[in-house]
Amino acid sequence: MKQSAPLNGTQAPDFELKSPKGKKVKLSKLKGKMVLIDFWASWCRPCRGENPNVVQAYEKYRKEKFKNGKGFEVLSVSLDRNEDQWIQAIEADGLVWKNHGWDKDGEVSKLYGVTSIPKAFLVDGDGKIIASGNEVRGMNLHLTLDDQLKD
């Protein structure tokens, strides 16, 4: 049975992946922050096209205070098959955040019901999914984050 994507308002399933440096990257370690779980791959043109937007959002919001979360983090989940291409794409696209995970076996993609990329989920400080899909692409990502800022 194919896993369907977790819905807005539900708890984001926790996962752990290997980083480019071989360290463990775990979603639950980012609890208390606003987190964008971003599924992508080096070979995916629309993903690479979305990367500058994600970088811009990261720079703009990483130190902000939200209604439910302090700071904004990006957790990139790569569906690459080739580790070197993945690591080169992180550098080439200037993905400066430190949370990069390689979903080598597709386990996390399955968990999140990801059938096409780019696909992203915005998770609040309590670990709940508050937006996903087109709500967190392009300008919508900025609008959604603005909406979550503390007054």
**pLDDT tens readout for residues 106-148:** 999 999 999 999 999 999 999 999 999 999 999 999 999 999 9
Domain at 32-148, CATH class: alpha beta
Give exposure, 62-93, as e/b (b: 16+ Cβ within 10 Å). Answer: eebebeebebbbbbbbbbbeeeeebbebbeeb
- The per-residue pLDDT for range 64-97, each reduced to its tens digit, is 999 999 999 999 999 999 999 999 999 999 999 9
What local confidence, expressed as pLDDT, does residue 1 receive?
44
| Domain residue limits, the chain | 32-148
Share above pLDDT 70 across residues of the chain, in percent, rounded to a whole number: 98
Closest CA to 121 of 102, 141, 139: 141
- The per-residue pLDDT for range 23-57, each reduced to its tens digit, is 999 999 999 999 999 999 999 999 999 999 999 99
Confidence label for 149 from pLDDT (cuts 50, 70 and 90): very high
